[in-house]
Amino acid sequence: MDYLEQIADALAKKVLEIEARTGDEELVGDVMKTVGSSSTTLEEAFLTAVRIRRAEARALALIAERGGAADS
């Protein structure tokens, strides 16, 4: 994972944790705008990381629902 992806993934992880804890569904968009005002490259990587983490969470929930081990 390169430096850009590391930063984007760390931001995505933190934002999604806060979103899950607080229910603030606007946080992703607000961070996206803030990051995008300085770096569209980081903005795109951040959004990709958010989508990947959300997809992973949905997949793990489905696996757990079907009786599989969802611990990764």
d(CA 71, CA 66): 13
According to the model, what pLDDT value does residue 68 have?
Answer: 74
pTM for the whole thing?
Answer: 0.87
70 in a domain, yes or no?
A: no
Domain contains 35? yes
Distances (CA, A) of 53 to 11, 15, 37, 42, 57: 11, 11, 23, 16, 6
Query: Is residue 71 in some structural domain?
Result: no
Higher pLDDT, 1 or 21: 21
Q: How far apart are CA 37 and CA 52, in angstroms?
A: 22
Helix, strand, or coil (residue 63): helix
Total domain count, the chain: 1
The whole domain housing 55 covers 3-65
28-72 confidence digits (pLDDT tens) = 999 999 999 999 999 999 999 999 999 999 999 999 999 876 565
State the pLDDT at residue 72. 52
